[in-house]
Structure 1
Amino acid sequence: MKKYSKAKTTKPVVKTEAVKPETVKAETVKVETVKPEVKAEVKAEAKPEVKTDVKAEVKAEVEKVAEKTAEKAAEVKATVKKTAAKATKAAKTTTKAVKAAKKEPVKPEIIVQFQNNEVDTAQVEERVKAQFVAEGHQAGRIKKLNIYIKPEEYSAYYVINDKFSGRVDLF
């Protein structure tokens, strides 16, 4: 058996200081805030340079394209004007051709002769219209005109618009 001594053994007392959690937290917060600031600064510095370079290049390209489209638009306008002018000239020539093709039929000159007297039917028509106007009517209202020539009576009878009738001298 072993003998035990009665002397008390004392344990060494170690004073432990409590670490303040606040200081640790403050340090971690500082570390966390430092990292985003650095990233933000790097991003802020890098992006504006790239954007301005890219924007300048894009603006230059857009201006070139705009100039080219403006030039092409001017060319197209000139072409349109030329073709429009040609089309109007062609339309005028076809109109002239159509007018030439739509010649009025030949209006014959009719002359009535009776016992050494003669009269042109156009003169008789003029006399009939003049007499109609002298009666107070308008010449533009004549839609239909029938003239009957009787040389033995030396007169011409007329009917206008199937309503008005009258007589004029032939010679």
Structure 2
Amino acid sequence: MKIKKEVIHVKSKLFLQHEGNEILLNELERRVKAEWRAEGNLAKDIREIECYVKPEDGLVYYVINEIHTGSIPLYEQ
């Protein structure tokens, strides 16, 4: 007899608050993907994204597919 496990979906939001600013961290991933597409790449070609948030630099450094690197401003102007 199999026991059926209940799957619970949780909606979550993760925020970064720093020096009077606030940003939804999921938004950073969206912006990194937009930067990738703006450079002429296809969203479907992304296999992995790593983001490094550096509030002291005001930047988010990223690595896509372990080879493509770049940065975006932490806060949109």
Structure 1 pair 161–154 and aligned structure 2 pair: CA distance change class (3 A): same
User: Take 1:159 and 1:150, find their aligned partners in 2: how far apart are those partners?
Assistant: 14
TM-score by length of 1: 0.39
Query: Which AA in structure 2 matches 1:164?
Result: H
Following superposition, the deviation at residue 122 of structure 1 comes to 1.0
Candidates 43, 67, 75, aligned match of 1:139: 43
Task: Specify which structure has the bigger relative contact order, considering alpha-carbon pairs within 8 angstroms and separated by 6 or more residues.
Answer: 2
Q: Are 2:14 and 1:110 aligned?
A: yes
Candidates 13, 26, 36, aligned match of 1:122: 26
Q: Are 2:55 and 1:151 aligned?
A: yes
Q: Which has the larger radius of gyration?
A: 1
TM-score by length of 2: 0.83
Following superposition, the deviation at residue 103 of structure 1 comes to 3.9
Q: Are 2:1 and 1:101 aligned?
A: no
Identity %: 36
User: Could you give the per-residue CA deviations for residues 46-102 of structure 1, whole angstroms, max 9, x where no partner exists?
Assistant: xxxxxxxxxxxxxxxxxxxxxxxxxxxxxxxxxxxxxxxxxxxxxxxxxxxx7x934
Runs of 4+ with deviation above 3 angstroms = 100-104
Query: Which AA in structure 2 matches 1:111?
Result: F
Alignment: residue pair count: 72
Higher strand share: 2
Q: Structure 1: 5+ residue runs without aligned partners?
A: 1-97
User: Take 1:134 and 1:141, find their aligned partners in 2: how far apart are those partners?
Assistant: 14
1:167 corresponds in structure 2 to 71
SS in 2 for 1:123: helix
User: Take 1:103 and 1:136, find their aligned partners in 2: how far apart are those partners?
Assistant: 38
Following superposition, the deviation at residue 111 of structure 1 comes to 0.6
Cα RMSD (Å) of the superposition? 1.8
SS in 1 for 2:23: strand
Following superposition, the deviation at residue 107 of structure 1 comes to 4.9
